[in-house]
Amino acid sequence: MNEILNGIRVVDLTRVLAGPYTTRILADFGAEVIKVQSNKSATGAEVNTSAYFSGWNRNKRSITLDLSHPEARELFLKLTAISNIVIENFSPRVMANWGLQYQSLKTVNPDLIMISMSAMGQTGPWKDSVAFGPTIQALSGLTYLTSFDKDAPLGPGYAYGDIVAGLYAVIAILAALETRDRDGNGQYIDLSEYEALSGLMGPALMDVAVNQREVLPQGNGPCYLPAAPHGCYRCSGRDKWCAIAVFTDEEWQALKGVMGNPEWAEQERFSELSSRQTHAQELDALLGQWTVKHDPKGLMQILQEAGVPAGVVQSSEDLAQDPQLRARRYFIRRKDAGPGLTTADAFPAIFNGARTGRWKAAPLLGEDNHYVFVELLGLEENELRSYMERGIIG
């Protein structure tokens, strides 16, 4: 797998999650990702020895370059000239202030692919707004729709929007590489994280835009899916749950059989899907009285064997011990400079029957300065020292 993007060099100006996730995937596939940092900016989520940084920046190189200096920008242009991709996730004004917009960069590298991953995109009245994943989730409606109550927005509890934007960015970059291979032309990609997440709202977005209908949070309900029962049901043990979704009459009959055909399940109000949906609240309460007597994993097994869609609601600890993931060697062990020996996730696809075992720890701040500035760009040792002493490389 590490060989697929061998020969592709990426100059990575991204920070925090959306951009670093994009470049982590490219690095996993073998691209040489050179992360541009500085002593000024390597703070918070960008501290190289933190567990957070380690998780999103494996297989990359790190250089220090303070782009507020004109001479640093000259070095950046030289690096751009010998690279294939430049990626950044600042607000639009940042690259413009440095004079490093795509129009400037392509003068030194005409077939360059550049992608800007901003919160709102490079145009529009909100273009200069900055945001993190949870902000985008709120704007897109995801925070509202994943709540249980319209008066108490909840959200997914994770920067899901950043992951979505990162995946869209990878797709866009690979498409641009494919196009460049065909016609030799580079291009500029303007990616809006807001648009990436809004597009996943699906029927809810269409319902509002086309039907002008109010869309309310459904909690664990099926929303636009024809299913009842449908939800997460409490099981025996502390905070143990099982997700159950019944779409067809055959599945409903199978569920009744597993339950021992209780009298309440034979009531007229539960006889058809439409009436079960109408009486979903009562149905959930009665089903929950049965599921609470069962271990979630055992319940999942007997329901699946009967043909009823069901799955354990796993905690992080459950996930780490999951036998399916372990059997596929999904978890990798790696020694990072900061957190030490860590467990991380691999890429979720296996190529030619094998999962790569080559994983490089996240880089220390500036650990590849010599390689990039001397070996790639041809600086003399005394020039490197001079740039470092003046804080240009630093």
Residues noted as catalytic: 162
d(C-alpha 313, C-alpha 99), whole Å: 50
Quickly count: other Cβ atoms within 10 Å of residue 157's Cβ: 10
Give yes or no for a contact between 29 and 59, defined as CB atoms under 8 angstroms apart.
Answer: no
What is the edge-to-edge ordering of all strands in the sheet holding 241-245? 230-234, 241-245, 310-312
On whether the CB atoms of residues 370 and 383 are closer than 8 A, the answer is no
CA distance 388 to 394: 6
- 379, burial (CB in 10 Å: exposed 0-12, middle 13-18, buried 19+): buried
Q: How far apart are CA 346 and CA 355, in angstroms?
A: 8
Burial (CB < 10 A; 0-12, 13-18, 19+), residue 264, is middle
- Tell me how far the alpha carbon of residue 226 is from its chain's centroid: 29
Quick one: tokens of 147? Answer: 């709540």
Mode of pairing for the β-strands spanning 187-192 and 113-118: parallel
The Cα–Cα gap between 277 and 41 comes to: 53
User: Which runs of E-coded beta strand occur in 100-224?
Assistant: 113-118, 187-192
